[in-house]
Amino acid sequence: MQCKEKMETYLREHQVPFEEQQHPRTFSAVTIAESEHISSKKVAKTVIMKLDGQLVCFVVPATYSVDLDTVQAITGAKAVRLAHEEEFEQAFPDCEVGTMPPFGNLYNIPVYVDKSLAVEESITFPVGTYTDTMSVKYADFEQLVHPHVTMFARAQVGL
């Protein structure tokens, strides 16, 4: 089953309403926001990191980046770095690299969400391809994923 179908099934099983969108092939969360005519604050970008050798999802708005020093401070991990694509592509076998949804729970990966995203009424995120996204209410996402919600992101300059 591909990621999009897995997400549809999961959300329907949990009776969570969702919307699906398509856009021209794009490789960045900012471009997703532009092509779908929505605020970049609502587009959830999943950043995969390695914390003491373990894969962890960090979810931030499209124009934000993960502050590694803050992640180290809030998690207590000794070794914190961005994961290389070859390190996480096997963890998301049904997704094109870089299009993972923020539902790490479906892949047995812990999820952290920055508070700047948690204030949004709804979020939009890729679902395994460079052309497909879904939108759900943030409250529904939080209820399903049970992420650690804290502050670890910073706005990227120039975006």
Inside any domain, residue 34 = yes
- For every residue of 66-133, DSSP letters joined together read E-HHHHHHHH--S-EEEPPHHHHTTTSTTS-TT---S-GGGGT--EEEEHHHHTSSEEEEE-SSSSEE
60 closest CA partner among 131, 157, 153: 153
Indicate the pLDDT class of residue 27, thresholds 50, 70 and 90: confident
Task: Give, as one character, the DSSP assignment of residue 84.
Answer: P
Q: Which amino acid type is present at position 84?
A: H
Give the integer Cα–Cα distance in Å for 41 and 12.
26
Inside any domain, residue 89 = yes
CATH of the domain at 113: 3.90.960.10
Tens-place pLDDT, residues 93-115:
999 999 999 999 999 999 999 99
Give the integer Cα–Cα distance in Å for 44 and 135.
10
Indicate the pLDDT class of residue 159, thresholds 50, 70 and 90: low
Which residues 6+ apart lie within 8 Å of 112 measured at CB? 56, 57, 58, 59, 71, 75, 147, 148, 149, 150, 152
Count the helix, strand and coil residues of the chain and give each as a percent rounded to the nearest 5: 30, 30, 40
Inside any domain, residue 74 = yes
- Domains in the chain: how many in total? 1
Inside any domain, residue 159 = no
Give the integer Cα–Cα distance in Å for 123 and 41.
8
Read off the tokens for 136: 């759900």
Indicate the pLDDT class of residue 83, thresholds 50, 70 and 90: very high
Summary mean pLDDT of the chain: 94
Question: What range defines the domain where residue 29 resides?
Answer: 3-153
Give the integer Cα–Cα distance in Å for 94 and 10.
14
Inside any domain, residue 158 = no
